[in-house]
């Protein structure tokens, strides 16, 4: 093992092993050794190495250990042998770390969405492709789902409604996962859930939200700031809204107790019209 990773990397590995056997291991040292282990392996290979850290916002949970402090400050960013690429959907949170250069990935443009639609539904007509583009609003995952399912459901609108409202649907699972993500990353969870449900139905001012949750304006503002910090909610002028329109729709529909358990095509048609109307409302502003 020492020959494969090099003497330095092996030494760091053994040091971490020894540290973990202590009653009170040095938390900061363990994190530092993890980063320097990557550096040592890269140096031993003689090649420039790119280390990709997906969902990088979860690394900040290490800051809960008192000795760690700021986990990102421990990254050896100035070394030439390797570099870090951090990916995250927690835009606001990651922007707080000025040591990194930030690049935003914009929504896919119309041509990219059409390409996705044609790739997964090569026989789709122009109306279907345009519908996929309109409903996906530049989101490649949604475009792919609608392209794959529009043939089965007849139209992109029906596919969107079915995939969102059916518990086995891809968009239902997307909304469920998004809700769990934001819910787990925000303190004050009972009220957080209530606020998300309330503003999924309509965009509201701070005072209006405070009245609906029976809390003072300062308490409500603090809760909203927590939601904005993890990009679950955004402020549009003087009102607050769900940042992700699909999550907003999911919350609104689920809160209303709607699902597709054995409904007929006519009911699906009505649901699809309601979903399309609500999606347009969610994307205003």
- For residue 279, pLDDT beyond 80: no
Check if the beta carbon of residue 240 is closer than 8 Å to that of residue 223: no
Whether residue 284 sits in one domain with residue 171 = yes
- For residue 120, pLDDT beyond 90: yes
Q: How many domains does the chain have?
A: 2
If we measure between CA atoms, which residue out of 222, 141, 213, 137 comes closest to residue 175? 141
pLDDT tens, position by position, 216-247: 999 999 999 999 988 999 999 999 999 988 88
Whether residue 282 sits in one domain with residue 193 = yes
- For residue 278, pLDDT beyond 70: no
Whether residue 161 sits in one domain with residue 90 = no
Asked if the structure places residue 214 within a domain, the reply is yes
Asked if the structure places residue 110 within a domain, the reply is no
Q: Mean per-residue pLDDT for 209-218?
A: 94
pLDDT tens, position by position, 121-145: 998 999 999 999 988 888 999 999 9
What residue numbers bound the domain in which 76 lies?
Answer: 2-94
For residue 185, count other CB atoms closer than 10 A to its CB.
20
**Residue 106: DSSP 8-state:** P
To 10 degrees, the CA torsion angle through 235, 273, 252, 227? -30
**Domain termination residue (choose one: 94, 113, 134):** 94
- For residue 260, pLDDT beyond 60: no
Q: Mean per-residue pLDDT for 197-225?
A: 93
Instruction: Measure the CA–CA gap between 81 and 130, rounded to whole angstroms.
Output: 47
Instruction: Measure the CA–CA gap between 246 and 242, rounded to whole angstroms.
Output: 9
Largest CA distance in the chain: 70
Q: What is the 3-state secondary structure (H, E, C) of 33-44?
A: HHHHHHHHHHHH
């Amino acid at each position: 093992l020492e020959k494969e990773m090099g003497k330095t990397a092996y030494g760091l590995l053994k040091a971490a092993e020894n540290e973990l056997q202590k009653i009170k291991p040095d938390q900061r040292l363990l994190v530092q050794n993890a980063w320097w282990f990557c550096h040592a392996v890269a140096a031993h290979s003689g090649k420039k190495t790119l280390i990709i850290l997906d969902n990088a916002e979860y690394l900040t949970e290490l800051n809960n250990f008192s000795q760690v402090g700021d986990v990102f400050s421990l990254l050896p960013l100035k070394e030439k042998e390797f570099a870090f690429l951090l990916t995250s959907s927690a835009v606001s949170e990651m922007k707080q770390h000025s040591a990194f250069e930030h690049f935003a990935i914009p929504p896919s443009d119309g041509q990219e969405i059409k390409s996705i639609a044609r790739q997964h539904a090569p026989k789709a007509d122009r109306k279907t492709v345009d519908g996929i583009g309109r409903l996906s609003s530049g989101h490649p995952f949604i475009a792919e789902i609608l392209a794959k399912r529009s043939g089965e459901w007849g139209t992109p609108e029906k596919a969107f409604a079915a995939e969102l409202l059916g518990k086995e649907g891809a968009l239902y699972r997307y909304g469920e996962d998004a809700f769990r993500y934001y819910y787990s990353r925000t303190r004050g969870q009972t009220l957080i859930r209530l606020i998300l449900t309330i503003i999924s139905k309509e965009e509201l001012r701070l005072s209006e939200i405070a009245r609906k949750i029976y809390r003072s304006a300062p308490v409500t503002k603090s809760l909203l700031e927590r939601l904005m910090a993890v990009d679950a909610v955004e402020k549009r002028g003087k009102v607050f809204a769900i940042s992700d329109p699909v999550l907003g729709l999911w919350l609104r529909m689920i809160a209303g107790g709607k699902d597709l358990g054995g409904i007929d095509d006519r009911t699906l048609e009505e649901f699809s019209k309601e979903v399309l109307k609500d999606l347009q409302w969610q994307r205003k502003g």
